[in-house]
Amino acid sequence: MSTQLVNETEAGERAKKAPVRVAVAGATGFAGQELIRLLARHPYAVITVATGSQATSTPRRLPALARIWDGTVVPLDIAAIDADVVFLALPEAASADIAPALLASGKRVVDLSGAFRLRDATARTKWYPATAALPDGVAYGLTEFEFDAIRNARLLSNPGCYPTASLLGLLPLQRAGLLQPGADIVIDAKSGISGAGKAATDRTHFSENHGSVAAYNPFGHRHTPEMEQSLGRPVTFVPHLVPLDRGILASLYTRLVPGTTAAAVGAAFERAYADAPFVRLTGDHLPEIKHVAHTNFCDIGWKVDEAGGRVFVVSVIDNLVKGAAGQAIQNFNVMCGFDQRAGLL
């Protein structure tokens, strides 16, 4: 019985009578469709409107979601969005453009783009030039580490898929003071092709990826500053495309403060995630993408080389769920005072 899995909060009780009215802008992309799929069965939310990514999109149905959500995706028109909370699954320039107006009209916003992730103005101008400024009330939505900020956020900036997997694997050790200061942190991430987006390009052609693996953007991916912001130190990050549809496996390599034991590493993880319903620790039985596909779980395993002072961490997520739509809803739940797990199990 699922009832044991979600605690009915006071806010949840209220929402059963008067569900939160939510809108999704950008409902036809991969993350947008996943949002619709999840929100359609959310116990406390009702979708009032779903839009395409442009004012000129033609109205359309989502056949893959027939019987799950049978509404029509309409052209993007901010003025016509009637909702308490608006999810933006748009390119970052569109989010940067639209979010301020939505906030001004009193709506809360959950933005899945990178537009509002970087606090440092210089970095933000470099990587997200369309973002004029960070609005008040913005929170970075790495749920497991930003719970209190998220609860009160007006604008929730949902983390990137690579930072989600990588930070969940590194922050417990960093915050416990176990990572050797100054040591290199190498993040080698493997992502399914849905991470490259829905546009048909040479890069997303089946024949380019079947039977292949490709590294891209070494030292130059814009998720790097996002990770460095949370960790407070530099990282070496290289993403790779692997021939599967959904999922990320992040391989994390660095050094520990001399004398750190495997037991201390395990304890740091256990402590960090004692109350986290979506993080599953697998210890030295390393996790695989398969186990988290189509779920909001992040599975984390690790191996410590005590003699050599090295640690290797593996963190896996579904890039469209915990790396995008699922975490967005998890954050929405926190913002509304619901059980984090509502609609996600």
3-class secondary-structure state, position 96: helix
CB of 323 to a second copy, least distance (A): 14
Give the nearer residue to a second copy in terms of CB position, either 78 or 276: 276
Tell how strand 279-283 and strand 214-215 pair up: unpaired
CB of 19 to a second copy, least distance (A): 5
Give the nearer residue to a second copy in terms of CB position, either 56 or 201: 201
Give the nearer residue to a second copy in terms of CB position, either 116 or 277: 277
Q: What is the distance between the alpha carbons of residues 130 and 57, in angstroms, rounded to a whole number? A: 22
Q: Which residues are catalytic?
A: 161
Strand segments (E) across 34-184: 45-51, 73-74, 85-88, 108-111, 138-140, 155-157
Q: What are phi and psi of 71, to 5 degrees?
A: -80, -175
Query: For 306, what's the count of Cα atoms within 13 Å in the CB-facing half-sphere?
Result: 8
CB of 46 to a second copy, least distance (A): 5
CB of 296 to a second copy, least distance (A): 10
Fill in the amino acid letter for 278: F
Give the nearer residue to a second copy in terms of CB position, either 39 or 98: 39
Overall size of the chain counted in residues: 345
Q: What is the distance between the alpha carbons of residues 30 and 114, in angstroms, rounded to a whole number? A: 16
Q: Return the structure tokens found at 39.
A: 């929100």
